[in-house]
Structure 1
Amino acid sequence: MKRVLHIITGLETGGAEHQLLLLVRHLPVHCEVAVLCDAGSVAEAIRAEGVRVHQLDMRGNRDLTALPRLVRLIRRGRYDVVHTHLFRACVFGRLAAWLARTPRIVATEHSLGDNLLEGRKAGLAVQMLYLASERLGAMTIAVSPTVYRRLAAWRVNPRRLAMIPNAIDEQRFGFRPDRRAAVRGRLKIAEDDYVVGIVGRLAAGKRVDLAIEAFAGTRCGTLLIVGDGPERERLQALAGRHGLNGRVMFTGDVADVPSMLDAMDVLVSTSAEETFNLAVLEGAASGLPVLYYACPALEDLPAEMCSGTEKITDDPAEIARALERRRARGQVRLPVPPAAGHYGVPRQVSGLLEIYGAAPAAEPALPSSSNTTKNV
């Protein structure tokens, strides 16, 4: 059985982090995970799967002491494949794997926007560092046709590019009334309370402030914000200024996203620049009506596959009106749109296994126990 080491920057709640959790659950290979920085709730969920998580405790982008520790970890593990996720992990992980002479080095690009990389401006220096590290690997995987086109525009060699979409485990996200009742009971949300939900990292690029301002202009009962990040205190203060204390709930970092979605009545995503937007797809798989500003996962598909979803502007007043229209329809669960099935796990797993064991793939056609090791 192949031995695969996944290297990721952090393991708090986020799309890339939850994709890694999905991979270690379903890939028929021996997986271990190395996390450079924060090991949050997703790390605990990965450990619960019986997968070892190695913590590097990296202190920042310029903490070069992490590199020799990572090289030693890779050499000791005798991995067949090193698979990196997110920018810092790709730069350090590819170099460490190359120094350790790993047979196959691959990366997944989760978060490349038109002008941003993981929410930060991607200037010339960042692009040059990205491209230099990319040449150390065998393959870079784009999570959507949108990301594939952006990587090509950055002049990544097409012979080292593949497109394997993010995946969703539909069975985990299917609506369950018992989970809805349990979560609402724990959070003291009334059964008939109309709940607007947000799922994701609380960072500036997600523009959660727009959703809070929009919610303030509605008669919806509760705004449930699932996730954590550097913007949390500012967003809590904003909710207070709008007089929403008691109506806006911040849950923090939560591993069990399906249960939180079950407690909601509509999902909103105001994020400006997305590469896939897994949260929107997961909401749709839960049968939620979904309002979104940017979601390549849906925008790359025909409209008839995306029933129950609605594209919105970034005007809080217009978002408020869209929320009121949804509230007027009551607490309804919708049929799961075909888009959720399109992004099934088997497709992702088979694509990755081919890359793990094969020569570089041809350019794809674009579709219309604590198990923890510290300080290695």
Structure 2
Amino acid sequence: MTARYAPAARPPRALHVITGLGTGGAERQLRALLRCLPVACDVVTLTNPGVVARELRADGVRVAHLGMAGNGDTSAALRLARLIRRGRYDLVHTHLYRACVYGRVAARLAGVRAVVATEHSLGQDRIEGRALNPANLALYLATERFGAATVAVSGAVAGRLRALGVPERRIHVVPNGIEPARFRFDAAARRAVRGRLGLPGHAVVVGGVGRLVPGKRFDVLLRALARLPEHVWLVLAGAGPERASLDALAVRLGVARRVVFAGDVGDVAGVLSALDVFVSPSAEETFGLAVVEALAAGLPVLHVTCPAVDELPRGEAPGARRTGASPGELAGALGAELALGVRRLPVPRAVERYGMGQAADRLLGVYRAVRRAAGTAGWPGTCGVAGATGVTEAFGALGPVGPVAVPGGGAAEWTREGVSG
């Protein structure tokens, strides 16, 4: 009698869909997550395959650029659905407003029922920089029903989702995570980065990290700098539409020579090592990832609001102090901090709480729940250790996915550099 064997089941695979891959909190969070998440993952960016796309490829993650022409490019949903079908993905995970809207529709068209969205950028009246007007809200809620779960990165975001009408049963709180060892203070990196940025040896350096957009309120930080002594310099790491206006404001305030716009930087950890105080002047945040990274670097932190700190038990982030939102209040808080002298602080317990291992484990729990609800198999075991190896090492080299037929765009095929053809 001949023995019969069932073929080995292939590991489940996920596709992450994100609006863009320039330097931003959601984009950097995705890269850090994929380094730890023990699931074979590919990434599609609708637009802007920027700095983080290059970093993901260097990590061994396959990244495709969908080439979406704009918000009205509805054919993008069809192209994405074709890619999902041909890739035989078991789960689709979307990030940021446009990717959530188009990605959930595309997954439904492709027949994938296990669809997770992470809400990174939901404010009280704006979402990913756009107003939450009736039209945008209606589109968001209509497509949210195509998903199985919506992940909130903080309790504050979960509350906003409930207020918008997202059902409680579909909301899961999974705080952002970081890899603490990557942000540990490095004296050699401090010297190298300060030299590269042209910071004088005597300078005490205040800094912020984030997109140069109005909501980050870096203009308030510039106005606060104008009230501080001449030896205090400011470094802003990030790019965005406000760069020219911030540059002009620095000139008008007479502080231009003390301000360094570092632009999009891949080495955020090096920049944090170069700073002496970190400031987050945003009046509204969804999590405050940059604040946690700064705490991991041992920096004193001033923040106007930060759910990552505000939602913790008291005393878990002693290096972070809340300040008022006006230029005068911020300048006063900076003056008081600088009077304590340049120093590095012990890494607080808050950083351990937000380790990427914990974030990956929680997210795997969401993945299992939505796959069970969809009637499909489970997922691999939890990450367990922050900084675990990437999916290429964990599962072996990913096989080819293409060719992917792209309506109106010929044939495309996955490569390590993106989608060709």
Moved more, 134-143 or 153-162: 153-162
1:14 CA displacement: 1.1
Percent identity reads 51
Matched, 1:285 2:330: no
Deviations 1:32-80 (A, max 9, x none): 1100111211111111101011001212111112122111111111111
Larger Rg: 2
The DSSP-based 3-state class of the residue aligned with 1:352 is helix
1:358 CA displacement: 2.6
Please tell me whether the aligned partners of residues 212 and 242 of structure 2 are also in contact (alpha carbons under 8 angstroms): yes
The DSSP-based 3-state class of the residue aligned with 2:247 is helix
| Distance in 2 of aligned mates of 1:57 and 1:294 | 36
The residue correspondences of 1:10-159 to structure 2 (distance < 5 A) are 10-159=20-169
Moved more, 242-251 or 133-142: 242-251
1:335 CA displacement: 1.0
Deviations 1:94-114 (A, max 9, x none): 000110012411110111111
1:303 CA displacement: 2.4
CA RMSD of aligned residues (A): 1.7
Structure 1 gaps, min length 5:
363-368
Residues 358, 299 of structure 1: CA spacing in aligned structure 2 closer, same or farther, 3 A cutoff? same
The DSSP-based 3-state class of the residue aligned with 1:114 is coil
| Distance in 1 of aligned mates of 2:146 and 2:198 | 52
| Distance in 2 of aligned mates of 1:372 and 1:358 | 33
- Partner in structure 1 of residue 347 of structure 2: 336
The DSSP-based 3-state class of the residue aligned with 1:54 is strand
Deviations 1:112-137 (A, max 9, x none): 11122123321222221111111101
The DSSP-based 3-state class of the residue aligned with 1:213 is helix
**How many aligned residue pairs are there?**
370
Match of 2:226 among 198, 204, 216: 216
Moved more, 181-190 or 3-12: 181-190
Match of 2:280 among 239, 255, 269: 269
- Partner in structure 1 of residue 418 of structure 2: 373
Structure 2 length normalisation: TM-score? 0.85
Moved more, 223-232 or 117-126: 117-126
| Distance in 1 of aligned mates of 2:283 and 2:22 | 21
| Distance in 1 of aligned mates of 2:155 and 2:329 | 29
- Partner in structure 2 of residue 366 of structure 1: none
| Distance in 1 of aligned mates of 2:178 and 2:87 | 29
Match of 2:322 among 311, 325, 331: 311
